[in-house]
Amino acid sequence: MIVLKSQREIEAMHESGKILAACHKEIAKLIAPGVTTWEIEEFVETYLKKADAKPEQKGYKGYEYATCASINEEICHGYPRKAPLKNGDIVTIDMVVNYNGALSDSAWTYKVGDITKETEHLLHVTKESLYKGIEQSVVGNRIGDIGHAIQTYVESEGFSVVRDFIGHGIGAVIHEKPEVPHYGLPHKGARLKEGMVFTIEPMVNVGTYKSVRDANGWTASTADGKYSAQYEHTIAITKNGPLILTEQ
């Protein structure tokens, strides 16, 4: 069942999202060659505590960290670690914020130092695909319209869309209905209604869309070892169009 959110609930999630977005802005200032994702993890813990917020994914189904930190070929759910980032890397920082019981979820891919033109293009296309999905998030459209817009654009640019991980409803818990694939057919799936709140979070790969799971049971990487990027917002469906709750 898809739970529709009241205006009050959406406003509360928006306040949570503002904290998350502000945290991402600070992370952007920290990312550089030589910095570790463990340092980013510790920064996020401290930042959220000062904001009277909590990292909701810490402890979720046994996950131990406040952030997911996925580097280069890692698609998602990478563990923070103490190895320094290198020039030419990309790193996706994903987190869920709980502020007074209201949740928000956002991921951003950051470049580390100087990256190749291909990688720069990957980041540009992935971010653009997120907003193409958001454009379709209006009352009366269907979930499939979002995925179709993303997939069509990404594949036209020569990249692929991950199938194994998708967007999701969010509310009282991190994952609710509906599921929001970043691929598919238009005019299919659940009809979008005012009050729906969900994430759109395309994961885009340079090569194959297929993934493999690491021994830790969490981290997913590209099957061919090529780079992957991700951008994610939490959005609410309103009568006036999509409202981005985690806008930076």
Q: What is the pLDDT of residues 190-216, one digit of tens each?
A: 999 999 999 999 999 999 999 999 999
For the segment 55-64, what is each residue's pLDDT rounded down to a tens digit?
999 999 999 9
Q: How far apart are CA 192 and CA 147, in angstroms?
A: 13
Q: In what order do the strands lie in the sheet with 160-161?
A: 160-161, 203-205, 228-230
Mean pLDDT for the chain overall: 98
C-alpha span between 10 and 248 (Å, rounded): 17
pTM as predicted:
0.97
What is the structure's pLDDT at 87? Answer: 98
Q: What is the largest CA-CA distance in the chain?
A: 48
Q: Which residue has the tokens 């949740």?
A: 103
Helices (H), 4-116: 7-30, 37-50
Residue 69's pLDDT is 98
Confidence of residue 180 (pLDDT cuts 50, 70, 90): very high
User: Domain 7-244, what architecture?
Assistant: Alpha-Beta Complex (3.90)
Please report, in angstroms and rounded to a whole number, the separation of the first and last CA atoms in the chain: 30
The domain locations on the chain are 7-244
